[in-house]
Amino acid sequence: MSPRIKPVAILPTLCTLGNTFCGFLAISKIADALLHQNAEVFRQNIVFAAWMIVLAMVFDALDGKIARLTNQTTDFGAQLDSLTDLITFGVAPAFLVKVVADYTFTTNGIVYQDKLPLLLTSVYAICAALRLARFTLETEPDPKAHETFKGLPSPGAAGVIAGTALFLFEKDSPLASFDAATRLTLVKVFLGMPIALGLLMVSRVEYVHLVSRWFKGRKPFFHLLMIVGLVFVAATWHEVAFFVAFTSYAVAGPGLALAERMLGRKLFVPDEDEDEDDDEIDGKPAQSALIALGSNLGDREAHLRFAIEQLRGLPRTRVVAVSSFHETQPVGGPPQRPFLNAVVRVATGLGPEPLLARLADLEKARGRERTVRDGPRTLDLDLVLFGATICETPSLTLPHPRFRERAFVLAPAAEVAAEMVDPVSGKSIATLLAALRAPKAP
């Protein structure tokens, strides 16, 4: 007896199939453009294909959102979505660039190596496939996992190509009045885009999920007015708006990463869902805890960022806020290089001992060795506060016994939990820091 076909989620699947149809129609119109030597017919087909890629993005944004809202996320849906995205945001944009380059060079009588467009655009398609496979393997159904991406999302990369095509070929585009030599130069730049976009897709550069960022939860009324204004601008000047918007998004990822590296702190922290209770995880009571991070061996920043990413992945734990990085001089121990310190505030359903055990595992993963008291270390993770818990066991003392005298803990802690109260002294983090910094009486 053959196995029964499992039920599928109808509405999300229909949205994904709408994406598939748009991708196939885009490829068909690009192929139709090859059959016509008439410049106007070629232009119309390319513009139509670009719009199909843009429409596919709407379906792509809807299918996952609907699946998560209706609790209908399935492995089938994830696999179908990746296969569809490969067609629409991998193959179709690559094919569009190749056809535009071949047509432009041929009609202008330019002698070129015809395998070059094929090579450059195939790199884009391959990178899109790798990006989608990695995304499917690494991303969880949890909405929190969809607030940021590692690498430029394939719809964003396809949007750059579709937006550029509209910029080049729409009748009302400012480029329509440019001379042939200038337009030819722009097509050459267009041909180089797939390489840059492909590398961004397979990179680990962090990108914000704009749909979650702009439409999730409650927002100020001004936020609504801004969205309406942007929609109006996009509808009125779409020939330029899509090109500017998608290109800015692609460039924003590496630009933000560079700025964060120079400043030594995160510039973007995903918004917490305002409808979500900070005191609950998966509907169960959670505690607010502070974890102090420190490193003065090897690549200090890399060790801290590793810890932060791993904390985001702990079970029944949500990272609420991350402080900036502080360089401080070591306290006690042998002579050693300065530390890089930070504090992470989490809401967790784990108990203090299980959480401490997880922190010890992260230290070991970065090669922490406890051979010299107060000696140098690759990664030091201390559980400073755990709600109002006061305890003293052979392995754990809460609150941390020396945190009140340590500016390298209190200063970053004040950035993320200034109001949090030390249950022993009854004073807030902000008050403890002010007292520590106050001039001492002679």
Catalytic residue positions, numbered: 368, 377, 380, 382
Q: Which helix (H) or strand (E) holds 195?
A: helix 180-202
List the structure tokens of 59. Answer: 């379906």
CA distance 392 to 372: 23
Triad 383, 297, 340: Cα angle to 5°: 55
DSSP secondary-structure letter at 270?
P
What residues form DSSP beta bridges with 150? 206
> What distances in angstroms separate CA 198 from CA 125, 205, 339, 381, one per listed residue?
8, 12, 37, 37
E strand or H helix that includes residue 362: helix 352-365
- Name the E strands within 284-379: 284-285, 287-295, 317-322, 326-328, 339-348
Beta bridge partners of 327: 340
- What number of H helices and E strands is found in the chain? 14, 11
Q: Using CB atoms within 10 Å of the CB of residue 186, give its burial: 0 to 12 exposed, 13 to 18 middle, 19+ buried.
A: middle
Q: Classify 291 in phi/psi space as left (phi over 0), alpha (psi -120 to 50) or beta.
A: beta
* Cβ 290 vs Cβ 345: under 8 Å: yes
What are 424's two structure tokens? Answer: 């022993």
CA-based R_g, the chain, Å: 27
Q: What is the DSSP track for 81-136?
A: HHHHHIIIIIIHHHHHHHHHHHHHHHHTT----THHHHHHHHHHHHHHHHHHHHHH
CA torsion, ordered 161, 126, 145, 74, to nearest 10 deg: 110
Contact by Cβ (8 Å): 197, 160: yes
